Amino acid sequence: MTEPHDDEGWQRLHPLSPLLRGGIVMLAVLGYGVSQLFDNVLGSFDPGTVVPGDLPDGGDAGREFSYTTHPVVALALLVLVIAAVAGGSWVSWRFARFRVTARQVELRSGVVFRQHRQVPLERIQAVETTRPLLARLLGLAQVVVQSAGGSDSQLTLAFLDAGRAEEVRAHLLELAGRADEQGAWADPRDPRDPAAPGAPPAAAVRAEDAAPLVTVPNDRLFVATILHGSTIVLGAIVLVGLTAVGIAEQGIRVLAGAPALIPVVLGLAIGRVKELLVHGNFSIARTGTSVRVRHGLTDLRTSSVPLHRLQAVEAVQPLWWRPWGWWRVRVNVAGVQGDDSGGDETTLLPVGTLDETLLVLATLGVRPDDPLVLDALQGTGPDAGWVGPPREARLLDPWAWRRIGYALSPGAVHIRSGRWTRHAVFVPHARVQSITLSRGPLQARLGLASARVVSTPGPVAAVVPHLAAADAEAFLAVVGDHAREARRPATGTRGPAGAPHSVAETVDPLAPDAPPLVD
Amino acid sequence: MTEHLVPPVEPAGPNPEVTLHGGPLPWRPVSPALATVRLIVLGVFLVVPLLASVVVAALVSPFVWLGTAALLALGAWGAWIIRRQVSAISWVELDEEIVIRKGRLFRSLVSVPYGRLQYVDIQSGPLVRAFGLATCEIHTASPESGGSLPGLPTAEAEALRTRLAARGEAQRAGL
């Protein structure tokens, strides 16, 4: 009954799982009921403490005998309730089984309504383990397997022993990260070139002993979380309010309006605190062919994303972070939505210095030795290799038009935008889903068009607005061409192995080499 | 071997003809019957307020004729837009992509590689079906990237779906 494996490899979840899944609510209800019964049981043995009007069944004072107050009946009820709950939990636990085969991971659950969910290993997009507070106290964790089928496509193994959960995660990743699908980022001319220089070979490093690449100190995270548009606007309002109090006779009235701000402040504070809780204790490590992210102040989360599942990578720098040189790195992974259920698996670096950001980008496959990458992050004007909007675009985007642009490296499309909040987006050629061009009436008047590389849903959007119409059409042709090349099976048109790769080569010969940025 | 260092494409860029405003490629229009369908829908929406305004104008106040005129103008404008929009929808099947163009004032163009197709839907409502038309919806892994191609004759839509499915299978790329 208790052996973990049976003949077909089916395994059980941890026996405490139903208790945890029911969660605190069930515990509270159970606790309340038990305490009530205990009161009655104990109370009825001690005749002095029974207050007749206090009976739970509402029995009136005149009655001398009540079933539920009789010690034996009460005790029996207590035992019955506990037995029912335990029995129900036991049955649901008995029926929930999972197994990992060579091709898929399967979960069977349900007693009356049976469910059998399977995720083929080649469809696994990411695997994470989560340890909510209660589970942490009991030493348990749940494993969530993400596949690319929309919001309800995940398979959750709740709960396993924490060590076992890590094992399952590592095992699944090992199976999911098979060699046939790797190399999305790699130079198509040079397939053997590892995406990140100096990276350990696949599967050489077990998930457990990989040293973190970057650890984000909590004090920096705290400052960065405070430095947010909403808090700064709020600060400005408060400052204006205080000055108004100081100088004008209307001050009292301003003060009277202050309580109206309380819900706003509360809302902001909750948002900020939530971000702190989610991103606290952040560390990222590379484990073989995937990256592993650990974070969470209360609910510990460990998520792993195979590198070849990344659809798009973005580095963002809000204006307020620029004096410190901080960046945030976000990614699109098919089937993994950001910000659901408090977790944020799409953030691979909540706040990092430039060096750390480049390190993380390098791990994700964006070559830091490519001058285009630094341009994408920090460039402000026309740079070599970049194609941006013509001068006419300043009417539509007076701030950012000089910075907006795209450039092509052998492995990826680089897109930069935003003058105040800087965005730098990298989409591997092999992950371009489709390309769209669009043009509104104003753009038509100025001879402009916007180009966009469509990625899977996620926080990263790869849009190059306000290109000259001809450049946008060239974007369609050139990016489409690289994508076409990258989609081909690895055996066919890939270049010779071990071809030397130099920085000078990274500017693609297909990219329009004279950027028509200025007339 | 060295010729493989550069992806084997013409230096002029492949398909330089794919532009926002058509060009020499064999762009195919959708059925003009789609305009009829959309005009009927517009008419159904306009006919009740139009009748109401006529009745009110005849019985209550001649000033309401202004409203009737405005409704008629709205209808005419709508009809003009519909004709322009439907005639602006066109599509072309290239070697590895299907390209769909739409709109005149707000032009858009989407290029979906066959290898990225997840599935293709054919939809047709009762009115559209009465005209022998169907909508072909193309889905990729991203919900926003797919194109929809309304107003194809049913047989053509089915044929397109079969072709797309076959090419998608042949050129299948992972996610």
Instruction: Answer whether B55's CB lies under 8 Å from B116's CB.
Output: no
Confidence band of A224 (pLDDT split at 50, 70, 90): very high
Chain B residues touching residue A430 (CB < 8 angstroms): 173
Please report the pLDDT score of residue A465 as a whole number: 93
- Res A440 pLDDT > 90: yes
Residue A442, SS3 per DSSP: helix
Which amino acid makes up residue B85?
Q
Q: How many whole angstroms separate alpha carbon A300 and alpha carbon B69?
A: 66
Instruction: Answer whether A359's CB lies under 8 Å from A150's CB.
Output: no
- Res A389 pLDDT > 90: yes
Confidence band of A130 (pLDDT split at 50, 70, 90): confident
CB contact under 8 A, B116 and A433: yes
Please report the pLDDT score of residue B22 as a whole number: 75
| Nearest Cα residue to A467 out of A493, A433, A436 | A436
Provide the token pair at A504.
Answer: 């000078």
Provide the token pair at A218.
Answer: 């909590």
ipTM over 0.85: no
End-to-end CA distance of chain A: 79
Placement of tokens 């519909």 in the chain: B82
Please report the pLDDT score of residue A337 as a whole number: 63
Which amino acid makes up residue A413?
V
Provide the token pair at B87.
Answer: 């005639």
Kindly report the number of other CB atoms within 10 A of residue B76's CB atom. 10
- Res A498 pLDDT > 80: no
Asked which of A1-15, A363-377, B70-84 is least confident by mean pLDDT, the reply is A1-15
Chain B residues touching residue A126 (CB < 8 angstroms): none
- Res A306 pLDDT > 90: no
Q: At what angle do helices A371-378 and A354-364 cross, to 10 degrees?
A: 130
CB contact under 8 A, B141 and A433: yes
Please report the pLDDT score of residue A330 as a whole number: 92
Chain B residues touching residue A181 (CB < 8 angstroms): 174
Mutation target to probe the A interface, by most A beta carbons within 10 A, among B17, B20, B169 is B20
Contact pairs from chain A to chain B, CB under 8 Å? 126
Q: How many whole angstroms separate alpha carbon A299 and alpha carbon A464?
A: 38
CB contact under 8 A, B1 and A495: yes
Chain B residues touching residue A306 (CB < 8 angstroms): none
Segment A467-476 mean pLDDT: 92
Which amino acid makes up residue A188?
P
Among chain A residues, CA nearest to B175:
A431
- Res A68 pLDDT > 60: no
- Res A436 pLDDT > 90: yes
Which amino acid makes up residue A174?
E
Spatial neighbors of A409 by CB under 8 A, at least 6 apart, are A367, A370, A372, A506, A507, A508
Which amino acid makes up residue A60?
D
Distance, CA of A35 to chain centre = 41
Mutation target to probe the B interface, by most B beta carbons within 10 A, among A310, A336, A454, A510 is A454
Q: Answer yes or no: CATH 3.90.700 is held by domain B90-175.
A: no
Residue A3, SS3 per DSSP: coil
CB contact under 8 A, A484 and B113: yes
Please report the pLDDT score of residue B109 as a whole number: 92
**Selected residue with higher pLDDT from B6 and A470:** A470
- Res A328 pLDDT > 90: yes
Prior bond of B63 cis (ω within 30°): no
pLDDT in tens, A141-189: 988 888 766 556 788 888 888 888 988 888 888 777 654 444 455 444 4
Q: How many whole angstroms separate alpha carbon A92 and alpha carbon B12?
A: 65
Of B5, B14, B171, the CB nearest to A481: B14
- Res B2 pLDDT > 60: no
Mutation target to probe the A interface, by most A beta carbons within 10 A, among B25, B95, B99, B109 is B109
Spatial neighbors of A87 by CB under 8 A, at least 6 apart, are none
Segment A200-212 mean pLDDT: 52
Q: How many whole angstroms separate alpha carbon B115 and alpha carbon B96?
A: 8
Chain B interface with A: residues with Cβ < 8 Å: 1, 4-9, 11, 13-16, 18-20, 96-97, 105-113, 115-116, 140-147, 171, 173-175
- Res A195 pLDDT > 50: no
Please report the pLDDT score of residue A121 as a whole number: 82
Please report the pLDDT score of residue A5 as a whole number: 58
Q: How many whole angstroms separate alpha carbon B21 and alpha carbon B4?
A: 33
Among chain B residues, CA nearest to A489:
B173
B161 CB-side CA count, 13 A: 19
Query: Exposed, middle or buried by CB within 10 Å (0-12, 13-18, 19+), for B144?
Result: middle
Dihedral (C-alpha) A233, A234, A236, A242: value to the nearest 10 degrees? 170
Confidence band of A414 (pLDDT split at 50, 70, 90): very high
What sign results for the dihedral spanned by CA atoms B100, B102, B104, B109?
Answer: negative
- H helices of A324-431, in order, are 354-364, 371-378
pTM metric for this prediction: 0.74
Segment A350-363 mean pLDDT: 93
Instruction: Answer whether A448's CB lies under 8 Å from A392's CB.
Output: yes
End-to-end CA distance of chain B: 29
Confidence band of A66 (pLDDT split at 50, 70, 90): low
Segment A207-228 mean pLDDT: 84
Instruction: Answer whether B68's CB lies under 8 Å from B49's CB.
Output: no
Residue A297, SS3 per DSSP: coil
**Selected residue with higher pLDDT from A210 and B44:** B44
Please report the pLDDT score of residue B1 as a whole number: 34
Asked which of A183-187, B84-88, B159-163 is least confident by mean pLDDT, the reply is A183-187
Chain B residues touching residue A432 (CB < 8 angstroms): 113
Q: How many whole angstroms separate alpha carbon A299 and alpha carbon A277?
A: 8
Q: What is the average pLDDT score of chain A? A: 77
pLDDT in tens, A503-518: 333 333 333 333 332 2
Placement of tokens 């494996």 in the chain: A5
Instruction: Answer whether B54's CB lies under 8 Å from B68's CB.
Output: yes
Q: How many whole angstroms separate alpha carbon A436 and alpha carbon A244?
A: 50
How near does any CA of chain A get to the CA of B59, in Å? 43
Q: How many whole angstroms separate alpha carbon A353 and alpha carbon B94?
A: 45
Asked which of A357-371, B77-91, B141-155 is least confident by mean pLDDT, the reply is B141-155
Please report the pLDDT score of residue B173 as a whole number: 72
- Res A242 pLDDT > 50: yes
As a whole-number percent, the residues of chain A with pLDDT over 90 amount to 25
- Res B76 pLDDT > 90: yes
- Res B128 pLDDT > 60: yes
Segment B73-81 mean pLDDT: 94
CB contact under 8 A, A455 and B140: no
Chain B residues touching residue A504 (CB < 8 angstroms): none
Q: Specify the DSSP class assigned to residue A48.
A: G
**Selected residue with higher pLDDT from A442 and A46:** A442
Spatial neighbors of B53 by CB under 8 A, at least 6 apart, are B64, B65, B67, B68, B71
- Res A490 pLDDT > 60: no
Segment A14-26 mean pLDDT: 71
